[in-house]
Amino acid sequence: MKMRHTMLLMAWAVLALQARADAGLEQREGALAAKLRCVVCQNQTVAESQAPIAKDMREEIKAQLAQGRSDAEVVAFFEQRYGSFVRYTPPWRPSTWLLWCGPFLAVFAGLALLRRTLKQRSAGAMPLTPAERERANDWLQQTDEENRP
């Protein structure tokens, strides 16, 4: 009887450890699926997408994690298969520098263009000549006379 209780207790412990390991694998699978881009949707992660290929990719992630592969190995597998585009956040490589720096360069170029334009506009504002001033005053007086009731 004591042996039976011990065996039941050991079986329960094994099941609890296996459930804990499965929960850990599911958590890793979810984290990896959030790091990879759906190759069909292209604006969703594998975790978010309901496309059939995203479901297949999640199954592949689960299978590779069950085989004991590391997160880096799983990501490398998908990169080899689909290219670095499959990463939702691209790595810092010479081929992706423009992707990372492009928005900042565009903002900087826009600010430089704005500064130059404003500088030219303020430098280009020359005072009116006496003839132009007289013409403007005549026009304003003429407009005032037309608008009076």
Residues 141 and 80 in one domain: no
- Whether residues 73 and 128 fall in one domain: no
Taking the whole predicted model, whether its pTM rises above 0.75 is answered as no
Q: Out of 44, 74, 91, pick the residue that ends a domain.
A: 91
Write the pLDDT tens digit of every residue in 44-65.
888 888 889 889 999 999 898 8
Q: How many CB atoms are located within 10 Å of the residue 30 CB?
A: 14
Tell me the average pLDDT across 7-30: 66
Once rounded to an integer, what is the mean pLDDT over residues 79-95? Answer: 81
Q: Which is higher by pLDDT, 13 or 146?
A: 146
Do 100 and 61 share a structural domain?
Answer: no
Give the Cα separation of 45 and 86 in Å (integer). Answer: 9
Residues 113 and 81 in one domain: no
pLDDT recorded at residue 77: 92
- Name the residue with higher pLDDT: 6 or 138: 138
Please spell the DSSP secondary structure of 73-133, one letter per residue: HHHHHHHHHH-GGGBSS----GGGHHHHHHHHHHHHHHHHHHHHHHHHHHHS-PPPPHHHH
